[in-house]
Amino acid sequence: MFTVWQFTIGDISRLVIETLKEVDGERKCCRLVGGILVERTVQEVLPALEHNKEQIQKLIESLGKQIQSKSAELTEYREKYNIKVKGEQPPSSEEEKGLSASQGVLVAKDSK
């Protein structure tokens, strides 16, 4: 989920910043600040956009680390208390893997 946000925000921010770098610094542009559309010059807006992009990237990285940490914590908790999720395949042990890998022959006993 965060990779989608990371690419979306990163691409949009990168495109806007690249576009504004090619424009004259004295040109007027509009920016939405706290729900209010403000008119500024490109040279005023560009540093703020770059700063916001950096802060958003840091936030996404931080949230990604938190997700990994909580995922590991959840896995540990599930293993500790033997919690199974309905429909989930139980992890097979190495012994079961060894048995499923061998192809034996099943022979029926005579019932005489």
**pTM exceeds cut of 0.85:** no
Q: How far apart are CA 62 and CA 86, in angstroms?
A: 31
Which of these ranges, 52-56, 73-77, 105-109, has the smallest mean pLDDT? 105-109
Structure confidence by residue, pLDDT tens digits, 19-37? 999 999 999 999 999 999 9
Comparing 102 with 89, the larger pLDDT belongs to 89
Q: Could you state, in order of their start, the residue ranges of all structural domains in the chain?
A: 2-78
Per-residue pLDDT, 85:
85
Mean pLDDT along residues 58-77: 94
Q: Which option is the CATH number for 2-78: 3.40.1390.30, 3.30.70.260, 1.10.1740.10, 1.10.287.370?
A: 1.10.287.370
Per-residue pLDDT, 111:
59
Position 86 pLDDT exceeds 60: yes
Q: How far apart are CA 75 and CA 13, in angstroms?
A: 35
Q: What is the residue-averaged pLDDT of the chain?
A: 83
Non-local (6+) Cβ contacts of 13 within 8 A are 49, 52, 53, 56
In order of 33, 87, 99, 105, the CA distances from 94 in angstroms are 58, 21, 9, 21
* Token code pair at residue 49: 């956009």
Position 97 pLDDT exceeds 60: no
Measured from the Cβ of residue 41, the count of other Cβ atoms closer than 10 Å reads 14
Dihedral class, residue 35 (left if φ above 0, else alpha if ψ from -120 to 50, else beta):
left
